[in-house]
Structure 1
């Protein structure tokens, strides 16, 4: 972040310096313009006054008397023919030559106010007509700044220099104020990338840097929660696998030792098949979820009639429902309900939702597959009459393994992966799965929605 701090400092100082230079140049130009205007006004006033006395300026004594009051100006008097009658600087041939045109024009009755260049110096010229047809020409070198103006400019420049110093100090403070928390935030981000959690992030950072720090703090918390859930999920997976594997090993050792004989062999074989199927289903769910999260999953979209898929799902699960004394039925599919989706994946989602509903529903209850129709979506709602879910459960329903851990001691639970797989499958098909309370509590209602076009 040293580079950023240096760039901020350099940019700030550059802007301050440019502003100061612009203000200084503008001040000097303004002062020069004011000085020129003032000097021209003074010279014009002198010329007008001398015009009134032009008849008495032709004697050397009169000229000698008024010279001190000219304040450095050069007076030239010409006759009607343009010849120089007298001048306070008769040896300055170049000045006299440069003002000859102004004198000739003034002799015609036109007041002349102009500038000429004499030896690379600007000279102000004021020329007025005299009563005898001649002209009075008054010249004065243009001074860049008068004494008072120069003093004023000096004071202004001093203020600008002080302001530059203050602004430079402020720029240094600002660059450090911005770069320090940003450096600390970058360090915290690197620590998070290395796997640390609970990393301290600056809390008093200014503006957008503070927003970045807040976002990083939220990311830290989210990562900690996500990794905590992953650890819980791995523990759940290990526990779920350990139970059937323990049974498999125990019965396998019993068979190997010859402890199981006669009619017990068939019973033990049935247990082994059931536990093997349990492990197989669990590993299949894990593989399916891994493929979904790795995006290694194909979806073949087509026009799908949800009523037919719902009916086939009910038919497939009817035997299990009857064995558990649960009524399994459909409603609302009298009219066709076409959607755009992968029929095999739709059936997979419905199978998962129906299996969960049958597991949660006690004997004598019911599970209903109901058509859902919307403006741009169609779907199937799977509603049961089980113990239902709390508002907190609805918010966490699709976090893998969370509901399983929450209820594994109080109600029948599955692998904890089914809802996570269902919601990802629906998302891949452009739809979603949402959890609700049953329309007639208690119970839960899971709705699969898919696009119709």
Structure 2
């Protein structure tokens, strides 16, 4: 009896250690990859909570100073405080964990009143530096209670049912831990850059929820990777048009297309475009600050109509090349607005550039600027052409979104310009809308406080 007790206890202890260690490593891998996402702590809290319930363990992450910053226990979920962050984890434990693996059957330097199985493994950042540790603790009392039940059943039964029960337990444990092992394999693949693996969802319980959360994180990482690869193309979208304008005027001066008496006029435009290009680069670098709320607007009073006129003049060659009829400029009067002039210039430039790309040969672009009765400056631009399908209008301002993929390829659009436009209008406490009639026209309208 004593021998059997020792065998079962040792076996279950090894299995518990293996299970805790494997899941700690899975959480460490997921955390390292998840650091790239904005909602990292919320995702990790949900994942370790579900996983903790599944394996009946407390899972918590600590930095290199021993300070716990996310935990799966109920007290943490309710108040953000629990026994794990009442005081820092001792450096003895942290040091052992970050070196490879920490294991004990004890109270974790008196953090627990009872004996717990505890595993700790290193936590890495996205470049492989050790920044803390992942811990999983499971009460030893649960194993003792489990053993007691087994031996009570052993006393009431014969050896054959006990053997059958042992194999049944092994099969059930294997079935329950299979999704977790699949997650561990998928996490290792993700660490190598393969984001294609997904976990089959075979149940609606905690394991199914964990698999769903894991798959959602994988999808987010795939999207993030795609965005990273598109970054260079997206930046070139914003830089190409002013460079094209500058190049066109310089070539015209060099080859004699532009008459000498007009050189000064067009060189002034080139100078203006170079300065605006410099501001545009700075605006691109400031986009992250705009989104995070860190950048403050440089608000001045200026004539928004003059901004439009200067942009249309700078696009003269593109307008003449497609024989586009420009309408409404003669009816626009002076409209003063208090806003960031450089950012509003970028908004109008992007909208005009977008219209020029998609206006049909011999088509038209019309403009209108006025102040309404509520004290808002209204800017409208409409161009003839193919238009935008109604089903795609709700997504037109999303980052990197392209409408018709084949058409976008021809027009060299990358889907960033309208996202920047909406971001700038939003921080001016304004709104922007789009209307389109397929085969006839597309119209953008924004309004900002005067």
- Range of TM-score over shorter length: 0.3 to 0.5
> TM-score, structure 1 length as denominator?
0.45
* Structure 2 length-normalised TM: 0.45
